[in-house]
Amino acid sequence: MAVKISSKIKSYSVLKPEDKAAAPAPAAAPVAVETPARPSAEVIHMHEQIERPDVLVGSTYKIKSPLFEHALYVTINDIVLNQGTAHESRRPFEIFINSKNMDHFQWVVAITRIMSAVFRKGGDVTFIVEELKAVFDPRGGYFKAGGIYMPSIVAEIGAVVEDHLKMIGMIVDPELDDSTRALIAEKRAAFEAQSKKNTELSEANAASAESESASGFPPGATLCYKCNTQAMVVMDGCQTCLNCGYSKCG
């Protein structure tokens, strides 16, 4: 390969084979020291936004709380993905809460807009159920039909969302195994037999029996710490829930 020399040659020398052997070896390139990577939060990118269809499938739920004079009507609209295929599924897209009571209009509108924004982001939105159900009213909660304790009206909204997500298949409620069902049935039968043997049904107990028929659990049952249902009874010195099978004795 020809090289063009543009400057004046002042001196030159011939490189001999023995000069090549005596030439010092080139210095090794410095080894780069790997510095440990700084920990950083993993960023999860959401999928592309979906425009709102003209028609959505929805369900409306009624909440009648003793804290409100008028009932709340919760409407959850779903978007149908992969419609007409084997992978068809429903996902929540927006939520509305309507009521004649205007005292709490501000936070009702705020919570519906935030929840709708979370639904439209997609992904696993089931976390919002636990966040809502963990809200407690400083004035105290109340019992809804069936003996289920609700710590606040926001918690009952979370319970409604949970029921809706179970209905569309996003939340799967674990079923009790046969041994747990048999244990609950045995404990309930023993408790009812002991109650009939030790106490006679009086006028006061008649009201309790009426509440039992409404909730489906024996009178005198206390609140379960796991399922928030008034179904905890004492058997053999141990508290056992007749709804979910939870026991303090393990």
Instruction: Please give the pLDDT value at position 85.
Output: 85
Is 213 a residue whose pLDDT tops 60?
no
With beta carbons less than 8 A apart as the criterion, state whether 62 and 70 touch. no
User: Which is more confidently placed, 221 or 166?
Assistant: 166
With beta carbons less than 8 A apart as the criterion, state whether 244 and 232 touch. no
Q: Alpha-carbon distance 148 to 138, whole Å?
A: 18
Can you spell out the DSSP letters for 32-52?
PPPPPPPP-PPPPPP----PP
With beta carbons less than 8 A apart as the criterion, state whether 152 and 65 touch. no
User: Which is more confidently placed, 39 or 153?
Assistant: 153
Over the stretch 151-210, which tens digit does the pLDDT of each residue have?
Answer: 999 999 999 999 999 998 888 877 766 777 777 777 777 777 776 666 655 544 554 444
Instruction: Please give the pLDDT value at position 20.
Output: 64
